[in-house]
Amino acid sequence: MAFALTIDGQRWREQLDATCEAVERSAGSPIVPVIKGNGYGIGQRNLAEQALRLGVDTVAVGTVFEVDEVAEYGNYDIVVLEPFEPRDSFTAEAWWRMGQQLHAGRVIRTIGSREALLALADGPGTVRVLLEAQTSMHRFGFDEAELLRVLADPDVRDAFRRAKVLVEGLALHLPLAQPADDVDPRRASLGTARVREVVRWAGLWHAETEVWPGHNSPAGRVWVSHLGDDEMTAVVRAVPDITLRVRIGTRLWLGDRRSLQAGGTVLAVHPIAQGTHVGYRQRTGPKDGTLVVVSGGTSHGIGLNAPTPASSVRQRVVTAGTGALDAAGRALSPFRWEGKQRWFAEPPHQHTSMVWLPKGCVVPAVGDRLIADVRFTTSRFDVVLGLA
């Protein structure tokens, strides 16, 4: 009984290698693989081992709670993407525990407030950080005025001078969609709105770090996400004095979906006469249909959907139609048989799902596999096959 992910290992690794080469060619520096959450369905441990194979010098994780497992598999530096916030007592305790580990010196914290910087300045030892800019995402970070103020703050400068805080660069987390910026005619030739945003921040960062007095000046690096290869090239051309470090997750690990196949095992097959009630909710199915019980339920992410962006009229219509079907007690499962997506008999259970096959279908046997179209970032698999 397993909900499994099968990987075409050779094909998948070739995709990883090709992506790393393309990013280094465009950005002029090695890729920074993102290994966060559920490890994009593949698992953090498996991704950490692949990062070691790729020979990267830095990886990124989502939170401090993900550091220890990733650190075990390589000697690379580890950027924690969620900003360090000392006023979050639970996370602050986890940071304190992590600081006692041997790999603490390889960890780079993201900082988005003056309070966080000064808390580190008063703490023990030396801490490596990235200062996060508040981009058009408007999630975390310093706006331009705040960044300039904090870099001019005497207490902050003293922490840098004493090497209490070592700044490894400026971090930019960009939106997936192009920002709705006001185009400066003088910058229109730079390229996309994302490129213009990165170039603006990189120019500010370079102007500040180039004239930094004394020791331990902030590094002239800008760490970015969600740039295409052409956009990376445009940024490098526009600000050649800045080192561009590019964080990539989905494109790297899930860039070739055909190398990844999710599926559940058929556990039971029941021919059902018309009018027969089944499941927890005692619902009826199609006339003379077949009820198939398959491994894979809510604990694996089956039936757990993220909100749709619905940015087009067509997407809104599809979303409305899906909602109407759900309200009527009908929902398509992610499981496919004979090339078609099949209906849930009822909402998925914790470890299994029940789906209907209509009359006339070839009936699977116990032990057969039903392929599932899943969102990998919300899926958890019992086993991952093909990486050995």
Lookup: tokens for 349: 């259970």
**Tell me, what DSSP letter sits at residue 183?**
P
Q: Which residues in the chain are classed under CATH 3.20.20.10?
A: 31-253
**Against a cut of 0.75, is the pTM above it?**
yes
- Per the DSSP assignment, residues forming a β-bridge with 269 are 292
- What is the residue-level pLDDT of the chain in tens, covering all 388 positions? 799 999 999 999 999 999 999 999 999 999 999 999 999 999 999 999 999 999 999 999 999 999 999 999 889 999 999 999 999 999 999 999 999 999 999 999 999 999 999 999 888 889 999 999 999 999 999 999 999 999 999 999 999 999 999 999 999 999 999 998 766 666 667 789 999 999 999 999 999 998 887 778 999 999 999 999 999 999 999 999 999 999 999 999 999 999 999 999 999 999 998 888 998 888 888 888 999 999 999 999 998 876 655 555 454 433 333 333 343 347 999 999 999 999 999 999 999 999 999 998 999 999 999 999 999 999 999 999 999 8
Q: Please check whether the domain covering 31-253 is classified as CATH 1.10.10.10.
A: no
Q: Count Cα atoms within 13 angstroms, Cβ side, for 98.
A: 26
Which whole-number Å values give the CA distances from 312 to 21, 156, 290, 305, 332, in the listed order? 34, 46, 37, 19, 22
Starting at the earlier edge strand, list the strands of the sheet with 165-172: 32-33, 243-248, 221-225, 165-172, 127-132, 107-111, 77-83, 58-61
Task: Express each pLDDT in 157-173 by its tens digit.
Answer: 999 999 999 999 999 99
Task: Express each pLDDT in 273-321 by its tens digit.
Answer: 888 899 888 888 888 899 999 999 999 999 887 665 555 545 443 333 3
